[in-house]
């Protein structure tokens, strides 16, 4: 959530930056400012009445002692009137604060200056490329055909048991899945991240805290009886560990990693790009989350990018990093870098990670703060990244490593899988 003082300091700047995300914010920003003016007027009147009440209360006793009973009764009547008016003012003040917060929740985060302008994924900027493209024959199989050939993933039974987008992983496919999870967690541990195992459902407050609500309500699976949500990413419960917390500066940064299954409805997804593992409703992911001092968050962002790059290099996958344009960024992000890997049989790039800095946007919603050495309270910066999401990693590994003898397992995974090749 944007800080109100940021909006008040330069409304035109805020409106212009929101436009980079394709958000026409003028009407909403003007409403927020109008409500703020109303709120300040109500607060001033409330403060004035409180001061008046204090004076009247102290005068009643004096008037009674002086025998001025009639004047004392008039003062009592005035006190009763002011108290009734104050209650109305306080109700109006609470209502204006509620309306202001509701509007603030609908305003996206401001993209930082380095975010390129653009409306769609075609406008993203390739920042860096690495790895070696595999040399495969034209008749190389796509991962869904490889999965069937080697009995690794059963999409059809998943449809029968649950529905499309909920596959079964079988035999060596399941072991490969588990190997990747363990590899990603071990690498995060080596990089100084504390592993946590979070709940896989969260309450409404947590959804609002990290910005999934109200923006992505239609994409989340909702357990209506208990008003709980299945998590779309471990970012949500892990970041919410610090909701309503004041962290001593000496304890920063907080660096956590977590494995979780993730659920996304992906409403409106269709076509060839959703075939096989390309887009699932349930998938596994390892997430890295950081809570930082503002002055440290961009160096932390670079560390996170280097970590994800290192994972892809160890897996031997061709990769590139995209700096997302304003129109392709998330509601909550100040800047996002997507990592994509090359899918040799599909001949297309597949997104496997997003690494983002949210600056104070999530922290303001969460009330995630730290106490500085100056004893003052400051908002933290929050960051997160996929390290990594499994489905498209598996797709690329199967396709890129296929040989006439079988699918070769990357060296870094063999101690986890217990086999070198899928044959």
Which two three-digit tokens encode residue 306?
């280097």
Contact between 285 and 260 (Cβ < 8 Å): yes
**416 and 315 fall within a common domain:** yes
Q: Which domain holds residue 386?
A: 121-422
pLDDT score at 85? 78
**Domain end position, chosen among 104, 130, 149:** 104
Residue 93 domain flag: yes
**73 and 212 fall within a common domain:** no
**Domain end position, chosen among 40, 71, 104:** 104
pLDDT score at 272? 56
The CATH number of whichever domain residue 193 belongs to comes to 3.30.930.10
pLDDT tens per residue, range 128-182: 999 999 999 999 999 999 999 999 999 999 999 999 999 999 999 999 999 999 9
**52 and 137 fall within a common domain:** no
**93 and 169 fall within a common domain:** no
**93 and 133 fall within a common domain:** no
Residue with tokens 């075609």: 122
Contact between 276 and 152 (Cβ < 8 Å): no
**31 and 134 fall within a common domain:** no
pTM score, whole prediction: 0.92
Q: What is the dihedral of CA 309, 311, 315, 321, to 10 degrees?
A: -20
Taking the C-alpha atoms of residue 235 and residue 257, their distance in angstroms, rounded to an integer, is 9
**88 and 131 fall within a common domain:** no
Taking the C-alpha atoms of residue 195 and residue 393, their distance in angstroms, rounded to an integer, is 21
Residue 411 domain flag: yes
Contact between 221 and 230 (Cβ < 8 Å): yes
Query: Exposure of 307 by Cβ count < 10 A (0-12 exposed, 13-18 middle, 19+ buried)?
Result: buried
Least Cα distance to 392 among 334, 330, 350, 336 occurs for: 350
Number of independent structural domains in the chain: 2
Residue 260: partners with Cβ closer than 8 Å, 6 or more residues away: 198, 200, 231, 233, 234, 237, 284, 285, 287
Residue 115 domain flag: no
**325 and 377 fall within a common domain:** yes
Taking the C-alpha atoms of residue 255 and residue 252, their distance in angstroms, rounded to an integer, is 8
The CATH number of whichever domain residue 78 belongs to comes to 1.10.287.40
Q: Which long-range contacts does 80-84 make (Cβ < 8 Å, 24+ apart)?
A: 82/49, 82/52, 82/53, 82/56, 83/53
Residue 113 domain flag: no
Helix (H) or strand (E) holding 86: helix 69-104
Residue 175 domain flag: yes
Residue 114 domain flag: no
Residue 409 domain flag: yes
**48 and 148 fall within a common domain:** no
pLDDT score at 71? 74
Residue 110 domain flag: no
pLDDT score at 59? 78
pLDDT lower than 70: segments of the chain:
61-63, 65-66, 69, 72-73, 75, 267-272
**328 and 404 fall within a common domain:** yes
Q: Which is it for strands 194-195 and 254-263: parallel, antiparallel or unpaired?
A: parallel
Handedness of CA 175, 266, 115, 380 (dihedral sign): negative
Give Cα separations from 131 to 77, 202, 225, 402 (angstroms). Answer: 82, 38, 48, 17
**142 and 34 fall within a common domain:** no
pLDDT score at 217? 81
Burial 244-258 (b: 16+ CB within 10 A, else e): eeebeeeebbbbbbb
**133 and 58 fall within a common domain:** no
């Amino acid at each position: 959530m944007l800080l109100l003082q940021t909006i008040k300091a330069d409304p035109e700047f805020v409106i212009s930056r929101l436009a980079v995300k394709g958000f026409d914010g003028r009407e909403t920003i003007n409403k927020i400012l109008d409500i703020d003016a109303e709120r300040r007027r109500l607060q001033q009147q409330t403060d004035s009445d409180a001061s008046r009440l204090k004076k009247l209360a102290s005068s009643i006793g004096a008037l009674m002692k002086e025998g001025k009973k009639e004047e004392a009764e008039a003062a009592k009547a005035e006190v009763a009137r002011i108290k009734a008016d104050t209650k109305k003012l306080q109700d109006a003040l609470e209502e204006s604060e509620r309306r202001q917060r509701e509007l603030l929740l609908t305003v996206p985060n401001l993209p930082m200056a380095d975010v390129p302008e653009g409306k769609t994924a075609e406008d993203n900027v390739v920042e860096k490329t690495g790895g070696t493209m595999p040399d495969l024959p034209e008749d190389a199989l796509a991962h869904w055909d490889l999965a069937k050939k080697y009995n690794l993933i059963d999409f059809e039974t998943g449809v029968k048991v649950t529905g499309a987008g909920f596959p079964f992983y079988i035999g060596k496919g399941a072991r490969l899945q588990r190997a990747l999870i363990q590899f990603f967690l071990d690498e995060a541990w080596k990089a100084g991240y504390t592993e946590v195992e979070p709940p896989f459902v969260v309450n409404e407050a947590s959804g609002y805290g990290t910005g999934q609500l109200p923006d992505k309500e239609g994409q989340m699976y909702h357990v209506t009886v208990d008003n709980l949500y299945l998590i779309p990413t471990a970012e949500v419960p892990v970041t919410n560990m610090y909701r309503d917390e004041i962290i001593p500066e000496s304890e920063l940064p907080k660096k956590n990693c977590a494995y979780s299954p993730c659920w996304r409805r992906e409403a409106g997804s269709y076509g060839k790009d959703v075939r096989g593992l390309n887009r699932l409703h349930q998938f596994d992911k390892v997430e890295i989350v950081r809570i930082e001092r503002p002055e440290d968050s961009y160096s932390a962002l670079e560390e996170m990018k280097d970590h994800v790059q290192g994972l892809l290099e160890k897996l031997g996958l061709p990769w590139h990093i995209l700096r997302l344009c304003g129109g392709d960024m998330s509601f909550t992000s100040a800047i996002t870098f997507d990592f994509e890997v090359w899918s040799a049989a599909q001949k297309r790039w597949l997104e496997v990670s997003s690494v983002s800095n949210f600056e104070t946007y999530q922290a303001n919603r969460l009330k995630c703060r730290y106490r500085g050495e100056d004893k003052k309270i400051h908002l933290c910066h929050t960051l997160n990244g996929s390290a990594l999401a499994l489905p498209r990693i598996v797709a690329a590994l199967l396709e890129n490593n296929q040989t006439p003898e079988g699918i070769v397992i990357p060296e870094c995974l063999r101690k986890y899988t217990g086999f070198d090749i899928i044959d």
